[in-house]
Amino acid sequence: MKKKIVILGSTGSIGKSLLNIIAKDKHNFRIELLSAKKNYKLLIQQAKKFKVKNIIITDNKYYRIALSKKIKKINIYNDFNDLKKIIPKKIDYVMSSIVGLDGLDPTIKLIKFTKKIAIANKESIICGWSIIRRELKKNQTEFMPVDSEHFSIWYALKNIPLNKIKNIYITASGGSLLNISKNKFDKLDLNKILKHPNWKMGKKITIDSATLMNKVFEVIEAKNLFGLSYDKISILTHPKSYIHAIIKFKNCISKILIHEPDMKIPINNSIYNMTNKNMKTKNIDFKILNDLSLKEVDAVKFPLVKLLKKLPKSNTLYETALITINDFFVYKFLNNKINFDKLMRLILKLSNTDEYLKYKKIKPKNIEDIYKLRDYVSLKLSRISI
């Protein structure tokens, strides 16, 4: 019997990687739904190639354009309100890889329609984990993280009680700036920063990698997913991105999780339930293991990691404010409105003002709380003079 699946954000890097995996094994899968925000041309191409009957295009403009094409045998929707019509019975697997907080609502909505959900949308886990966890439990839906670091931790901790853990280390490549002096940051060329040494990613996440804000977010994710306190989670720079996590246990034994810097590895494991089907296994790279270059993060060079010392212990609305602040200034940088050094300074400054610190005391009760705050913070930021 074919495995019925849904891919949210199928035109992004994670979605395309998953489709490449499925393309080699089409007879074992039936895709019930694909979604995208704007890239309707690629979405329609994917739907035709994989014989998908339902697609969702969330941007109104591109939804109308797609409708005007009058494509046969494909139902085109504009939002996730018709899921009961699209998915009448519980399916086997959902990949949630929509970028940004826009992915939170569809992620939560899909949980009750699937036996298993793999989440690559970090904003959902950071801001809405308490809501996601509640829905997972309510609907008895299996969950699996897809970020390489969290997948590695999840894999290493299977059937191990949390009280056995002493420390967890996640690694950071350091992005394109690890070996560049901080006094050169304000003169850096955008194209130089966007050349990540190990991963092919979108512009926004590449900048987050360069500032190490993505690692701040990944520590928040790890805290949420594994129920650990922040003082048990640390970041190490590791230029080769070969080690993804190190777990030290209280019995003095440690686990080191390694794999090639290739997102197809956690994606493949998520859809094939931890088997190596359709994956070519490479030999361990002993050259890298003999020169790991693991180091503690230089907080002077990468000041955003200082935010970790002031984060609330439980899931609050502050994380939504922090993500919104970061997004706002990253896009200002990408549009050449500020330089790289000012990007980091403004994120650190704004996230430490009383205007946003007060949200550390407020927990999100529902999705509306999160989206309402995101919109409020975005409006407030749009009015400041840079």
HEC profile for 295-311?
Answer: EECCCCCCHHHHHHHHC
Q: Tens digit of pLDDT for each residue in 130-188?
A: 999 999 999 999 999 999 999 999 999 988 998 999 999 999 988 778 888 888 787 77
Of 259, 279, 311, the residue at which a domain comes to its end is 311
Which residue in 102, 325, 87, 105 sits closest to 211, CA to CA? 325
Say yes or no to pLDDT of 248 above 70: yes
271 and 364 share one domain: no
Of 311, 339, 356, the residue at which a domain comes to its end is 311
pLDDT at 276: 65
Q: What residues have CB less than 8 Å from 382, skipping those under 6 apart? A: 328
137 and 250 share one domain: no
265 and 242 share one domain: yes
Give the pTM: 0.93
119 and 223 share one domain: no
pLDDT at 386: 78
177 and 118 share one domain: no
122 and 180 share one domain: no
- Assess contact for 170 and 222: CB atoms under 8 A: yes
Q: Tens digit of pLDDT for each residue in 24-80?
A: 999 999 999 999 999 999 999 999 999 999 999 999 999 999 999 889 999 999 999
151 and 291 share one domain: yes
Which residue in 59, 56, 53, 51 sits closest to 10, CA to CA? 56
168 and 281 share one domain: yes
Q: What residues have CB less than 8 Å from 293, skipping those under 6 apart? A: 237, 238, 239, 240
19 and 126 share one domain: yes
Over its C-alpha atoms, the chain yields an Rg (Å, rounded) of: 21
204 and 233 share one domain: yes
- Assess contact for 116 and 4: CB atoms under 8 A: no
232 and 351 share one domain: no
Domain containing residue 22:
3-146
165 and 283 share one domain: yes
If one counts the domains in the chain, the total is 3
Say yes or no to pLDDT of 319 above 90: yes
Q: How much is the mean pLDDT over the chain? A: 93
Neighbours of 14 (CB within 10 A): 25
Return the half-sphere exposure (C-beta side, CA atoms, 13 A cut-off) of residue 216.
Answer: 25
Which residue in 159, 156, 179 sits closest to 168, CA to CA? 156
Taking the C-alpha atoms of 226, 309, 96 and 204 in order, what is their torsion angle to the nearest 10 degrees?
-150
